[in-house]
A and B are shown apart, each in its own frame.
Chain A
Amino acid sequence: DGGITQSPKYLFRKEGQNVTLSCEQNLNHDAMYWYRQDPGQGLRLIYYSQIVNDFQKGDIAEGYSVSREKKESFPLTVTSAQKNPTAFYLCASSIGAGRINQPQHFGDGTRLSIL
């Protein structure tokens, strides 16, 4: 079955520590996205990538970093510079490749908490 896999499901971060959230898709999608969701709120875009080896900052990129070395993978690193990292992180993908009007497909999220 095609889909998006996020791991781990739960993650704990210590003070001063960087942590990396994994996102893998086998949908052959060009575009991938990282969102942050806080309790009772909508999704805020952290970073997105429309093609391999290229990515852009979203609305709340400070304290986060990404890479897009492979089409199927878009890992997110939450750095120690992100002072309030506790949130639910969602990865998504869409067909991209110049085709607008396409839905996004989501993984089941990683819940990050501070120790």
Chain B
Amino acid sequence: SQQGEEDPQALSIQEGENATMNCSYKTSINNLQWYRQNSGRGLVHLILIRSNEREKHSGRLRVTLDTSKKSSSLLITASRAADTASYFCATDAGGSNDYKLSFGAGTTVTVRA
């Protein structure tokens, strides 16, 4: 079952602008992960944030996590055409030793040159 839900479903921005997308989930988690998928390809892991962390950075990516609101955001700064892709959040089941992840439906980002 899908636990994470991304918002918006689609986003179109100009190159150089920032892109922000949000993820909400329903139950407690150990960690939340963000993945990117280029058209017709597999998913690529971007960043993992643990439930006791509030913010994490990786290059032009910034992820926040608010466990009280059960939500996360992914910010891509200074976007490039190569950032055009679908972005998915994924959550595990908190308190479990299970490795399963539940993925949301994704946000499709288009970066216009």
Contact = CB atoms under 8 A, between A and B. Distances in A.
B1 A101 contact: no
Interface string A21-56: 000000000010101000011111100101000000
Given A58-B100, A94-B99, A103 B33 contact: yes
Nearest to B4: A42
B74 to A, nearest CB: 15
Nearest to B49: A101
Nearest to B33: A103
B42 A100 contact: no
Interface stretch (A65-73, A74-82, A106-114): A106-114
B33 A108 contact: no
Interface stretch (B12-20, B59-67, B102-110): B102-110
B97 A101 contact: no
Nearest to B104: A42
B31 interface: yes
B30 interface: yes
Given A100-B31, A106-B43, A108-B42, A45 B100 contact: yes
Contacts, number: 67
Most buried by A among B4, B90, B99, B100: B99
Given A48-B100, A102-B99, A104-B101, A42 B88 contact: yes
B26 interface: no
A105 B45 contact: yes
A16 interface: no
A63 interface: no
Contacts of A102: 48, 99
Contacts of A106: 42-44
Closest 8 CB pairs of A and B: A106-B42, A103-B45, A43-B103, A42-B103, A42-B105, A106-B43, A108-B42, A101-B31
7 contacts: A31-B99, A43-B88, A100-B31, A101-B92, A103-B33, A104-B45, A111-B40
